[in-house]
Amino acid sequence: MPTHMNHPESGVFCFCTFTCNNWLPLFEKTDLYDKIYREDVLWEAWRQVKVNKGAPGVDGLSIDEIIEQRKEEEIINKLQKQLKAKRYKDS
């Protein structure tokens, strides 16, 4: 489920998704990659995915299940670490 946002402090308009890693090479070739794994960016993306009622990811968990199982922070932290290490795989 994609989301986009404008970050006034950096002047960056970001497009990110929790379900596709095809955009990562685009960010790696610019000076924007370090912004995509910022905690505030990931939490805002997650908030927008919830608002848009995004579909379950490859793990099969729905948004409601993630919230009910209290896995939001775990998922965001794991995603941030993978993105920062440039090891994120949509699998």
Every domain of the chain and the residues it spans:
2-84
**pTM to 2 decimal places:** 0.64
Flag whether pLDDT at 19 surpasses 50.
Answer: no
Do 14 and 41 form a contact (C-beta atoms < 8 A)? yes
Flag whether pLDDT at 70 surpasses 60.
Answer: yes
Flag whether pLDDT at 6 surpasses 70.
Answer: no
Nearest to 14 by CA among 56, 53, 60, 48: 48
Using CA atoms, how far apart are residues 39 and 79, in angstroms rounded to an integer? Answer: 10
Half-sphere exposure of 27 (CA within 13 A, CB side): 19
Biggest distance spanned by C-alpha atoms of the chain: 37
Q: What DSSP state is assigned to residue 60?
A: -
